[in-house]
Protein backbone atom coordinates (compact mmCIF):
# COMPACT_ATOMS: atom_id res chain seq x y z
CA UNK A 1 0.00 0.00 0.00
CA UNK A 2 1.41 3.37 -1.07
CA UNK A 3 0.52 5.96 1.59
CA UNK A 4 1.41 9.63 2.05
CA UNK A 5 0.64 12.17 4.76
CA UNK A 6 -0.23 15.80 4.00
CA UNK A 7 0.01 17.78 7.25
CA UNK A 8 1.56 21.19 7.89
CA UNK A 9 2.41 20.50 11.55
CA UNK A 10 5.52 18.34 11.32
CA UNK A 11 5.28 16.89 14.87
CA UNK A 12 1.70 15.79 14.10
CA UNK A 13 2.84 14.27 10.80
CA UNK A 14 5.63 12.32 12.49
CA UNK A 15 3.26 11.11 15.23
CA UNK A 16 0.80 9.88 12.60
CA UNK A 17 3.65 8.18 10.74
CA UNK A 18 4.67 6.31 13.91
CA UNK A 19 1.09 5.28 14.62
CA UNK A 20 0.71 3.93 11.10
CA UNK A 21 3.96 2.01 11.50
CA UNK A 22 2.43 0.11 14.41
CA UNK A 23 -0.35 -0.94 12.02
CA UNK A 24 2.27 -2.08 9.49
CA UNK A 25 1.37 0.77 7.17
CA UNK A 26 4.42 2.65 5.90
CA UNK A 27 4.06 6.34 5.03
CA UNK A 28 7.48 7.31 3.72
CA UNK A 29 6.35 10.60 2.15
CA UNK A 30 5.15 13.57 4.19
CA UNK A 31 4.10 16.83 2.56
CA UNK A 32 3.49 20.04 4.48
CA UNK A 33 1.95 22.66 2.18
CA UNK A 34 -0.29 23.18 -0.83
CA UNK A 35 2.64 24.29 -2.98
CA UNK A 36 4.84 21.35 -1.99
CA UNK A 37 2.01 18.88 -2.56
CA UNK A 38 1.19 20.18 -6.05
CA UNK A 39 4.86 19.93 -7.03
CA UNK A 40 5.12 16.38 -5.61
CA UNK A 41 1.97 15.07 -7.29
CA UNK A 42 3.10 16.58 -10.60
CA UNK A 43 6.25 14.43 -10.56
CA UNK A 44 5.31 11.19 -8.78
CA UNK A 45 2.90 8.28 -9.08
CA UNK A 46 -0.16 9.06 -7.00
CA UNK A 47 -0.57 7.00 -3.81
CA UNK A 48 -3.29 4.53 -2.93
CA UNK A 49 -4.22 6.44 0.23
CA UNK A 50 -3.72 10.00 1.49
CA UNK A 51 -4.01 11.12 5.11
CA UNK A 52 -5.12 14.69 4.49
CA UNK A 53 -5.22 17.69 6.80
CA UNK A 54 -7.55 20.45 5.61
CA UNK A 55 -5.91 23.66 6.82
CA UNK A 56 -2.30 23.82 5.60
CA UNK A 57 0.25 26.58 6.13
CA UNK A 58 -0.38 28.21 2.74
CA UNK A 59 -4.07 27.51 2.22
CA UNK A 60 -6.76 24.84 2.18
CA UNK A 61 -5.73 21.41 0.94
CA UNK A 62 -8.66 21.50 -1.51
CA UNK A 63 -6.44 23.72 -3.67
CA UNK A 64 -4.25 20.69 -4.43
CA UNK A 65 -7.20 18.93 -6.03
CA UNK A 66 -8.25 22.03 -7.93
CA UNK A 67 -4.82 22.17 -9.55
CA UNK A 68 -4.47 18.44 -10.31
CA UNK A 69 -6.65 15.40 -10.91
CA UNK A 70 -5.91 12.96 -8.09
CA UNK A 71 -7.84 9.71 -7.70
CA UNK A 72 -6.36 8.51 -4.43
CA UNK A 73 -8.50 7.42 -1.49
CA UNK A 74 -8.64 9.96 1.34
CA UNK A 75 -8.76 9.73 5.11
CA UNK A 76 -9.25 13.21 6.53
CA UNK A 77 -7.35 14.36 9.61
CA UNK A 78 -9.12 17.50 10.74
CA UNK A 79 -10.18 19.74 13.58
CA UNK A 80 -13.42 20.78 11.82
CA UNK A 81 -16.69 20.72 13.72
CA UNK A 82 -19.07 17.77 13.93
CA UNK A 83 -21.31 18.86 11.04
CA UNK A 84 -18.40 19.07 8.62
CA UNK A 85 -17.10 15.73 9.82
CA UNK A 86 -20.41 14.07 9.12
CA UNK A 87 -20.41 15.57 5.65
CA UNK A 88 -16.92 14.33 4.91
CA UNK A 89 -17.87 10.85 5.96
CA UNK A 90 -20.38 10.63 3.14
CA UNK A 91 -17.75 10.81 0.41
CA UNK A 92 -14.48 9.65 1.94
CA UNK A 93 -13.05 6.54 3.56
CA UNK A 94 -13.22 8.13 7.02
CA UNK A 95 -12.25 11.16 9.10
CA UNK A 96 -10.03 11.36 12.13
CA UNK A 97 -10.52 14.12 14.65
CA UNK A 98 -7.33 15.59 16.07
CA UNK A 99 -5.67 14.54 18.29
CA UNK A 100 -5.84 11.23 16.48
CA UNK A 101 -6.88 8.22 18.54
CA UNK A 102 -5.03 4.96 17.85
CA UNK A 103 -8.22 2.86 17.83
CA UNK A 104 -9.91 5.27 15.41
CA UNK A 105 -6.86 5.17 13.16
CA UNK A 106 -6.86 1.35 13.14
CA UNK A 107 -10.57 1.29 12.26
CA UNK A 108 -10.06 3.78 9.43
CA UNK A 109 -7.21 1.75 7.93
CA UNK A 110 -9.27 -1.44 8.21
CA UNK A 111 -12.21 0.27 6.53
CA UNK A 112 -9.93 1.30 3.65
CA UNK A 113 -8.55 -2.23 3.23
CA UNK A 114 -12.05 -3.70 3.22
CA UNK A 115 -13.34 -1.23 0.66
CA UNK A 116 -10.44 -1.39 -1.81
CA UNK A 117 -11.17 -4.84 -3.35
CA UNK A 118 -14.69 -3.79 -4.33
CA UNK A 119 -13.76 -0.21 -5.15
CA UNK A 120 -10.11 0.15 -6.05
CA UNK A 121 -10.23 3.92 -6.15
CA UNK A 122 -12.33 6.33 -4.19
CA UNK A 123 -12.76 9.43 -6.32
CA UNK A 124 -13.83 12.47 -4.34
CA UNK A 125 -15.59 15.47 -5.77
CA UNK A 126 -13.97 18.25 -3.77
CA UNK A 127 -16.46 20.84 -4.99
CA UNK A 128 -19.22 18.76 -3.39
CA UNK A 129 -17.21 18.52 -0.19
CA UNK A 130 -16.79 22.29 -0.14
CA UNK A 131 -20.55 22.70 -0.44
CA UNK A 132 -21.11 20.29 2.44
CA UNK A 133 -18.93 22.32 4.81
CA UNK A 134 -21.90 24.61 5.39
CA UNK A 135 -25.52 23.62 5.61
CA UNK A 136 -27.08 24.79 2.30
CA UNK A 137 -30.23 25.80 4.16
CA UNK A 138 -28.23 28.16 6.36
CA UNK A 139 -25.73 29.39 3.80
CA UNK A 140 -25.63 33.04 2.88
CA UNK A 141 -23.00 35.42 1.59
CA UNK A 142 -21.87 38.73 2.97
CA UNK A 143 -23.71 41.76 1.64
CA UNK A 144 -21.39 44.26 3.35
CA UNK A 145 -18.13 44.53 5.29
CA UNK A 146 -17.42 46.79 8.24
CA UNK A 147 -14.00 48.47 8.17
CA UNK A 148 -12.27 50.83 10.53
CA UNK A 149 -11.48 54.32 9.22
CA UNK A 150 -9.69 56.27 11.91
CA UNK A 151 -11.95 56.14 14.94
CA UNK A 152 -15.01 55.32 12.85
CA UNK A 153 -16.57 52.17 11.41
CA UNK A 154 -17.62 52.29 7.77
CA UNK A 155 -19.88 49.84 5.94
CA UNK A 156 -18.89 48.81 2.42
CA UNK A 157 -21.33 46.99 0.15
CA UNK A 158 -19.78 43.81 -1.22
CA UNK A 159 -21.04 44.64 -4.70
CA UNK A 160 -18.92 47.84 -4.60
CA UNK A 161 -15.68 45.89 -4.10
CA UNK A 162 -13.62 45.31 -7.26
CA UNK A 163 -11.14 42.97 -5.65
CA UNK A 164 -9.69 41.65 -2.43
CA UNK A 165 -5.93 41.30 -2.22
CA UNK A 166 -3.16 40.52 0.23
CA UNK A 167 -0.07 42.65 0.73
CA UNK A 168 2.53 42.79 3.51
CA UNK A 169 0.57 40.25 5.59
CA UNK A 170 -2.58 42.39 5.36
CA UNK A 171 -5.84 41.78 3.48
CA UNK A 172 -7.45 44.69 1.65
CA UNK A 173 -10.71 45.45 -0.12
CA UNK A 174 -10.45 47.79 -3.13
CA UNK A 175 -13.66 49.61 -4.01
CA UNK A 176 -15.01 51.06 -7.24
CA UNK A 177 -14.28 54.59 -6.02
CA UNK A 178 -10.55 53.80 -5.86
CA UNK A 179 -10.13 53.33 -2.10
CA UNK A 180 -8.36 50.58 -0.17
CA UNK A 181 -9.64 49.29 3.17
CA UNK A 182 -7.75 47.01 5.54
CA UNK A 183 -9.75 43.97 6.69
CA UNK A 184 -9.20 41.87 9.80
CA UNK A 185 -9.46 38.51 7.96
CA UNK A 186 -7.22 36.52 5.62
CA UNK A 187 -8.10 35.69 2.02
CA UNK A 188 -8.72 32.08 3.09
CA UNK A 189 -11.20 33.24 5.74
CA UNK A 190 -13.03 35.34 3.15
CA UNK A 191 -13.92 32.38 0.96
CA UNK A 192 -17.15 31.19 2.66
CA UNK A 193 -18.41 34.79 2.76
CA UNK A 194 -18.08 35.50 -0.98
CA UNK A 195 -20.68 34.57 -3.59
CA UNK A 196 -18.76 32.12 -5.84
CA UNK A 197 -20.53 33.26 -9.02
CA UNK A 198 -19.36 36.84 -8.37
CA UNK A 199 -15.88 36.47 -6.84
CA UNK A 200 -13.07 34.18 -8.00
CA UNK A 201 -9.65 33.66 -6.44
CA UNK A 202 -7.31 34.05 -9.40
CA UNK A 203 -4.10 33.62 -7.37
CA UNK A 204 -2.84 33.44 -3.82
CA UNK A 205 -3.00 37.26 -3.73
CA UNK A 206 -6.29 38.20 -5.44
CA UNK A 207 -10.03 37.65 -5.46
CA UNK A 208 -11.71 39.53 -8.32
CA UNK A 209 -15.29 40.64 -8.88
CA UNK A 210 -16.59 39.46 -12.27
CA UNK A 211 -18.40 42.77 -12.77
CA UNK A 212 -15.11 44.67 -12.37
CA UNK A 213 -13.24 42.87 -15.16
CA UNK A 214 -12.54 45.24 -18.05
CA UNK A 215 -10.13 43.18 -20.14
CA UNK A 216 -8.19 39.89 -20.17
CA UNK A 217 -4.83 39.51 -21.90
CA UNK A 218 -2.64 36.47 -22.60
CA UNK A 219 0.37 36.49 -20.31
CA UNK A 220 3.62 34.53 -19.98
CA UNK A 221 3.66 30.83 -19.00
CA UNK A 222 0.07 30.22 -20.15
CA UNK A 223 -1.31 32.70 -17.64
CA UNK A 224 -3.81 35.54 -18.02
CA UNK A 225 -3.56 39.17 -16.99
CA UNK A 226 -6.76 40.84 -15.84
CA UNK A 227 -7.49 44.52 -16.20
CA UNK A 228 -10.03 45.82 -13.70
CA UNK A 229 -12.14 48.94 -14.11
CA UNK A 230 -10.19 51.12 -11.67
CA UNK A 231 -7.65 48.99 -9.75
CA UNK A 232 -4.12 49.57 -11.11
CA UNK A 233 -1.83 49.24 -8.08
CA UNK A 234 -0.48 45.78 -9.01
CA UNK A 235 -0.71 43.40 -11.95
CA UNK A 236 -3.60 40.99 -11.45
CA UNK A 237 -2.45 37.65 -12.89
CA UNK A 238 -4.44 34.42 -13.07
CA UNK A 239 -2.15 31.65 -11.82
CA UNK A 240 -1.45 29.01 -14.46
CA UNK A 241 -3.08 26.21 -12.48
CA UNK A 242 -6.25 28.33 -12.11
CA UNK A 243 -6.67 29.44 -15.73
CA UNK A 244 -8.97 26.58 -16.75
CA UNK A 245 -11.22 26.98 -13.70
CA UNK A 246 -11.24 30.74 -14.24
CA UNK A 247 -12.41 30.34 -17.82
CA UNK A 248 -15.12 27.92 -16.70
CA UNK A 249 -16.17 30.40 -14.02
CA UNK A 250 -16.52 33.19 -16.58
CA UNK A 251 -19.00 31.09 -18.55
CA 188/CA 191 separation, integer angstroms? 6
CATH of 3-132, picked from 3.40.50.2300, 3.40.50.10490, 3.40.228.10, 3.40.630.10, is 3.40.50.2300
**Are the C-beta atoms of 124 and 95 separated by less than 8 Å?**
no
- HSE toward the beta carbon, residue 109, CA cutoff 13 A: 21
Q: What is the CA radius of gyration of the chain?
A: 20
Distances (CA, A) of 95 to 130, 132, 163: 15, 14, 35
**Which one-letter DSSP state was computed for residue 231?**
-
CA 87/CA 64 separation, integer angstroms? 20
Q: Is 208's pLDDT higher than 80?
A: yes
Look at 38 and 136; give whichever has higher pLDDT. 38
| Nearest residue to 232 (alpha-carbon basis) of 130, 166, 163 | 163
Phi-psi region of 221 (alpha: psi -120 to 50; beta: other; left: phi over 0): left
pLDDT tens for 214-250 read 999 999 888 999 999 999 999 999 998 889 999 999 9
Give residue 90's pLDDT band: very low, low, confident or very high (50, 70, 90).
Answer: very low
Ranges of each domain in the chain: 3-132, 144-250
CA 45 vs. chain centroid, Å, equals 22
- Please report, rounded to a whole number, the percentage of residues in the chain having pLDDT higher than 90: 50
Q: What are the beta bridge partners of residue 227?
A: 215
Look at 215 and 125; give whichever has higher pLDDT. 215
CA 200/CA 209 separation, integer angstroms? 7
**Whole-number pLDDT of residue 230:** 95
Strands 59-60 and 55-56: antiparallel
Backbone angles phi, psi at 94, to 5 degrees: -175, 175
Output the pTM of the full model. 0.48
Burial of 4: CB neighbours in 10 Å, binned 0-12, 13-18, 19+: buried
Q: Classify domain 144-250 by CATH number.
A: 2.40.50.1020
Amino acid sequence: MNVIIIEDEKPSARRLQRMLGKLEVEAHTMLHSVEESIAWFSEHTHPDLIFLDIQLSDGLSFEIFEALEINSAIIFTTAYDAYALQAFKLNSIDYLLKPIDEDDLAKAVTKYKMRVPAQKQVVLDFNDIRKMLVNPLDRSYKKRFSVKVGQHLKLIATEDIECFYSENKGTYAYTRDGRNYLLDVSLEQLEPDLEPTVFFRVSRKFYVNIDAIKDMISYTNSRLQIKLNTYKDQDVIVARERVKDFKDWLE
